[in-house]
Amino acid sequence: MQRETLLLNATDVKQNAPMAEVVPAIEDAFAAFQRGDAQMPAKSYIELPQYNGDFRSMPAYLDAGTWDAAGIKWVNVHTDNRDNFDLPTVLGTMIYSDPETAFPLAILDGRELTMQRTGAAAAVATDYLAIPDASSLGIVGAGVQSYTQLEAISQVRPIETVVVADRDDTRVAEFIEAFDTEFDVHAGSVSDAAGCDVLSTVTPVEDPIIPREAVGDHTHINAMGADAPGKHELADEILFDAMIIIDDHEQTTHSGEINVLWQANQLDESDINASIGEVVLNQHQGRDQKTGISVFDSTGLAIQDVATAHVVYEHACANGNGYNFDLLGFAGAD
């Protein structure tokens, strides 16, 4: 029986999260959630206005059939961290547990885990919703999330050309340098990015920055940035015209890309075409020859964190990575 807990830092998580396995694990998680083989209580918040921050707890269990997994991510948003403490605005810690015994198998860096699973979720949606021969990818926002968007989406489509748009020229240059040996990647305007076969938006804006007229006739959009009430990356007309696929009804209507129009009663149930779980299980056909623009409204689910932690833990154990420690004080107990 496992007696030690594995500590996995950001480097360990990244090294043990092969996208070729994380993407299907996220697909399995969406399917389990839709089948009813997952438990995912609503994300809970602790508001800390005196520190300009908050804590969020994200627990989940899922049974994918050939494996099951459980865990909880403890994450935050503290807007003063960068300027006042030289710390990231968002931190996170994942506790990954054995569902049978509740033993804490691993404690993982939650920031890297979030990046990996967010990219993988976009890849699952792209696989089902983008045109089959999609070869160009636009990315708006060149922050940390942009990297795994390209890494994951290129697993499911033959991406050749990448257009990246960001107000920060340094971040754009760093992104290009990271990928210019693998792809034809170059800087462009938001409109240039929006005209690609696939578009991923990974910004925190509250005023839409993607204009309707710039989006291609059959572009698939991964709307990844909105994660709080008021955030909104896409022009209203895009959402009015698009096939909308969501990850979770409660989260997307509260804090996803559709939240602003939903609260204003400009979108309702009839405007949501399906959940990504329904698409994965073929309960909704996803894209067909008549589909124009498609939008995946992703808020990020705890089941994604658990599924990714499962992949990372299995690989870390096989590769001898991380640091084992006796969290529960069992040393010498036998």
Q: Which entry of 14, 43, 73, 290 is annotated as an active-site residue?
A: 73
73 catalytic per annotation: yes
Do residues 162 and 146 lie in contact, with contact meaning Cβ atoms separated by under 8 Å? no
In this structure, how many other beta carbons lie within 10 angstroms of the beta carbon of residue 59?
Answer: 20
86-92 long-range Cβ contacts below 8 angstroms, 24+ apart? 90/114
Cβ neighbours of residue 93 closer than 8 Å, sequence gap 6 or more: 73, 74, 75, 107, 108, 109, 110
Check whether 251 is labelled as a binding-site residue: no
Who's near 62: CB < 8 A, 6+ residues apart? Answer: 28, 29, 32, 33, 37, 38, 39, 40, 68, 69, 70, 303, 306, 307
Alpha carbon distance 216, 203 (integer Å): 20
Residue 145 marked ligand-binding:
yes
Find residue 297's DSSP bridge partners: 223, 246
Reduce the secondary structure of 5-63 to three states and give it as a string: EEEECHHHHHHCCCHHHHHHHHHHHHHHHHHCCEECCCCEEEEEHHHCEEEEEEEEEEE
Tell whether 36 is in a known binding site.
no
Does 225 count as an annotated binding residue? yes
The DSSP element (H or E) to which 107 belongs, if any, is strand 104-109
Instruction: Enter the tokens of residue 46.
Output: 């602790």
Is 144 annotated as a binding-site member? Answer: yes
Residues 215 and 198: their CA atoms lie apart, in Å, by 10
Q: Is 307 annotated as a binding residue?
A: no
Sign for the CA dihedral angle at 278, 284, 285, 290 comes to negative
157 is in an annotated binding site: no
- Name the E strands within 161-292: 161-165, 184-187, 198-201, 220-223, 243-246, 272-275
Residue 287's contacts (CB-CB under 8 Å, 6 or more residues apart) are 128, 129, 130, 131, 220, 243, 294
Are 250 and 317 spatial neighbours (Cβ–Cβ below 8 Å)?
Answer: no
Q: How far apart are CA 329 and CA 33, in angstroms?
A: 35
Residues at the annotated binding site for NAD(+)? 117, 144-145, 225-227, 231, 298
Residues marked active site are found at 73
Residues at the annotated binding site? 117, 144-145, 225-227, 231, 298
